[in-house]
Amino acid sequence: MKPSEPAKSGTFASSVVRRRVLLGTTVLAILVTIAGLAAYLTRGDRTPQEAGTAKSAATSPTSPTPTASTPNRRAGVLPTPPKTHDPIAFAKAAAAALWSYDTRASSQPELLRAMRTWLTRESKYADAASVEALVPTPALWKQMGANGQFATATVHEGHFPASFTRALQTDPGAITDAYLYAVTVSGKQSIAWKGSPAGGAESRATTLAVQCRPSRPCALAGVLPAVAP
């Protein structure tokens, strides 16, 4: 049996690579064709209020954060995904969750499990590895925990990337099977620890792939390897 183990490992690795390529290809198609957004704007089963909200998001892609604090996150409470059909609102909440942690109140496995609940249930599009890569490793978590380190996030804005918006008038049916949206979020991560309550802060920006099917609330598909402006 031992000679077959490397083959199994290679098969698993190939499966992971194929999934990453699929997500990247799908999101790239979104950036080029805007099909998911166009389908969202034009589908006929929405109420006038929903249509007005979507139109506003398309014509003015930047969505301001109503508060300066981390969205749906209290100190020591693990992040939970919001129930929304707005990809920008969801992406902003997801980015804030990814930029926040508290080694004083939870363990690294607990935070990992919490972030997995944000992922889409469609394994074909869920890139869990790209999300988990943003959570500190167990070894690093242990070091940070010894210092009582924690981080909070301030989200400044979220928007559809420029290439996403420029393609608004292209074929609306190109990728409606996936309903994936690319959203770029910018903000600030503030880090503090024992003996340094003021800590420090750094600017953050990331582009997320968010799945928002008409029949259910948005979910996270993954984190793109580069920020799309």
Given this model, what pLDDT does residue 20 score? 52
User: What residues does each domain of the chain span?
Assistant: 2-223
**65, two tokens:** 């954060």
Q: Among residues 134, 154, 148, which one has the least CA distance to residue 76?
A: 148
Rounded to whole angstroms, the Cα distance separating 151 from 189 reads 7
Q: Cβ contacts of residue 216 below 8 Å, gap of 6+?
A: none
Pair 205, 186: CB distance under 8 Å: yes
CB atoms within 10 A of CB 8: 10
Which regions of the chain are under pLDDT 70? Answer: 1-76, 164-169, 171-175
Q: Cβ contacts of residue 61 below 8 Å, gap of 6+?
A: 88, 159, 160, 165
